[in-house]
């Protein structure tokens, strides 16, 4: 994800200005531009070398840009869309937004695996030594963990139970272990389902030693990685875990999105809060206090859900694809800044 800048210096004056530069001016401007853009010399150093004032150097460099003697090209890897990324960051007031090209099958495949690969690189930038990294359940976070190849020493904690306890070793638990292995830090997995039959069972599990130890880290998390689901089969693990009657009940409340077992309507307001009583998951208020919460989600089928969660104020950064980004750029009224972490439901 490192961008590179290429400075191309040309001896032609066929730029935007109709006034031609003489050969001596061209040579001098090209030489000064090379010193400044390619060799990294200061304007004062260039002025001393050419025996002119630094103000003259500044004017020459400005003229070189105006007349296309200097072309500045900012290049990023082909899979990254820098223009959409910046526009999306500005629209939602995000700290970071990274948009990658959607694969051909994006309409049918939410959260393409390349989102996890890019998110892994982003975490390598965001996580500092001594941080506590929290990972919530989700296919995209599992892909991200598998792609990790660098992390500074940090503690890694699981933020939610798993979709299916029988697949724990291949899901969230393995993601936590993988991240801890890469960082060389401690791992605190949760060996429990995300959704329990009733609140009493959930309370009993939360009090078990290993799970309680993981929960103690929730208020210490500095960087979190979460997934987003839309309220439809195969796109939300919580939706798939509920009965038909329960799905209909929460749908009647206007649920449009799910993140870490928290439900949201299209405006980003939390609905169906009673579901949390049955879940092994980080609380929404705890997520809101985490300095950096990175959501990984993409695809047209998740686009509206991503918009809803971004409006909640729980997420500070997003890794998505062009398919979802195009929807988000025109989705409803301009949202408040995501860095305004206030609860849209009020206190």
Number of domains in the chain: 2
Q: What share of the chain is helix, strand, coil (3-state, %, to 5)?
A: 45, 15, 40
Q: Are residues 39 and 86 in the same domain?
A: no
The answer to whether residues 30 and 115 belong to one domain is no
On the question of pLDDT at 210 being above 50, the answer is yes
Domain that holds residue 55: 23-67
Domain end (from 42, 67, 92): 67
Whether 160 has a pLDDT exceeding 60, the answer reads yes
Give, in degrees to the nearest 5, the angle at Cα 318 between 259 and 327: 90
Q: Does one domain contain both 299 and 277?
A: yes
Of the candidates 253, 160, 157, which has an alpha carbon nearest to the alpha carbon of residue 213? 157
Mention every residue, 6+ apart, whose C-beta is less than 8 A from residue 37. 7, 9, 70, 72
Q: Same domain, yes or no, for 291 and 192?
A: yes
More confident: 111 or 222: 222
**Domain end position, chosen among 67, 89, 122:** 67
Residues 193 and 235 reside in one and the same domain:
yes
114 lies in the same domain as 57: no
| Per-residue pLDDT at 47 | 93
Residues 37-53: tens digit of each pLDDT: 888 899 999 999 989 99
Number of C-alpha atoms within 13 angstroms, CB side, residue 336?
A: 14
- Asked if residue 247 and residue 202 are part of one domain, the reply reads yes
- CATH for 162: 3.40.50.1360
Buried b / exposed e along 97-122 (16+ C-beta atoms within 10 A): bbbbbbbeebeeebbbebbbbbbbbb
Q: Give the pLDDT band (50/70/90) at residue 162.
A: confident
Domain-embedded: residue 2: no
> Per-residue confidence at 339, pLDDT binned at 50, 70, 90?
confident
Q: DSSP 3-state assignment of 206?
A: helix
**Nearest CA-CA partner of 197 in 260, 264, 242:** 242
Q: Tell me what the mean pLDDT of segment 304-317 comes to.
A: 95
Question: What is the predicted pLDDT for the residue at 96?
Answer: 93
> At 34, which CATH number?
1.10.10
Q: Which tokens hold the place of 267? A: 């405006």
> Of 67, 92, 124, which closes a domain?
67
Q: Answer yes or no: is 144 within a domain.
A: yes
pLDDT score recorded for residue 3: 43
Residue 8, in any domain of the structure: no
Residues 47 and 139 in one domain: no
Q: What is the pLDDT of residues 236-264, one digit of tens each?
A: 888 888 888 998 999 999 999 999 999 99
**Residue 13 domain flag:** no
Query: Is there a domain that residue 17 lies in?
Result: no
pLDDT for 136 equals 93
Q: Which residue in this structure is represented by tokens 């609380």? A: 283
Say what percent of the chain tops pLDDT 70: 87
Taking the whole predicted model, whether its pTM rises above 0.85 is answered as no
Q: Report if residue 272 sits inside a domain.
A: yes
The residues pairing with 229 across neighbouring beta strands, listed in sequence order, are 258
Tens digit of each residue's pLDDT (9 = 90 or more) over 53-78: 999 999 999 888 888 888 776 655 55
Rounded average pLDDT over 156-166: 80
Same domain, residue pair 159 and 117: yes
342, part of any domain: no
In a domain, 46, yes or no: yes
Residues 40 and 86 in one domain: no
Separation of alpha carbons 296 and 226, rounded Å: 6
- Same-domain pairing of 49 and 174: no
Together in a domain, 138 and 30: no
């Amino acid at each position: 994800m490192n961008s590179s800048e290429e400075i191309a210096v040309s001896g032609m004056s066929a730029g935007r200005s109709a006034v031609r530069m003489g050969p001596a001016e061209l040579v001098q401007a090209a030489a000064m531009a090379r010193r400044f853009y390619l060799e990294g010399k200061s304007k004062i150093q260039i002025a001393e070398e050419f025996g002119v004032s630094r103000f003259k150097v500044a004017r020459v460099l400005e003229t070189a840009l105006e007349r296309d003697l200097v072309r500045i090209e900012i290049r990023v890897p082909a899979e990254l869309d820098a223009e959409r990324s910046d526009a999306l960051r500005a629209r939602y007031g995000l700290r970071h937004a990274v948009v990658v090209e959607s694969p051909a099958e994006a309409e049918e495949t939410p959260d393409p695996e390349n989102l996890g690969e890019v998110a892994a690189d982003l975490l390598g930038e965001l996580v500092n030594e001594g941080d506590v990294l929290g990972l919530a359940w989700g296919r995209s976070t599992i892909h991200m963990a598998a792609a990790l190849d660098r992390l500074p020493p940090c503690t890694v904690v699981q933020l939610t139970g798993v979709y299916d306890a029988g697949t724990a070793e291949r899901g969230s638990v393995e993601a936590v272990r993988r991240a801890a292995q890469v960082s060389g830090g401690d791992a605190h997995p949760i060996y429990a389902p995300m959704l329990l039959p009733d609140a009493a069972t959930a309370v009993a599990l939360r009090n078990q030693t290993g799970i309680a130890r993981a929960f103690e880290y929730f208020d210490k998390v500095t960087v979190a990685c979460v997934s987003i689901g839309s309220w439809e089969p195969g796109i939300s693990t919580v939706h798939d875990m509920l009965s038909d009657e329960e799905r209909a009940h929460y749908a009647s409340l206007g649920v449009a999105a799910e993140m870490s077992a928290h439900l949201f309507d299209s405006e980003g307001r939390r609905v169906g809060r009673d579901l949390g009583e049955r879940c092994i998951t980080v609380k929404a208020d705890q997520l809101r206090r985490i300095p950096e919460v990175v959501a990984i989600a993409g695809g047209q089928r998740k686009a509206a859900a991503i918009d809803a969660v971004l409006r909640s104020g729980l997420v500070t950064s997003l890794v998505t694809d062009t398919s979802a980004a195009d929807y988000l750029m025109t989705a409803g009224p301009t949202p408040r800044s995501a860095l305004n972490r206030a609860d849209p439901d009020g206190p």
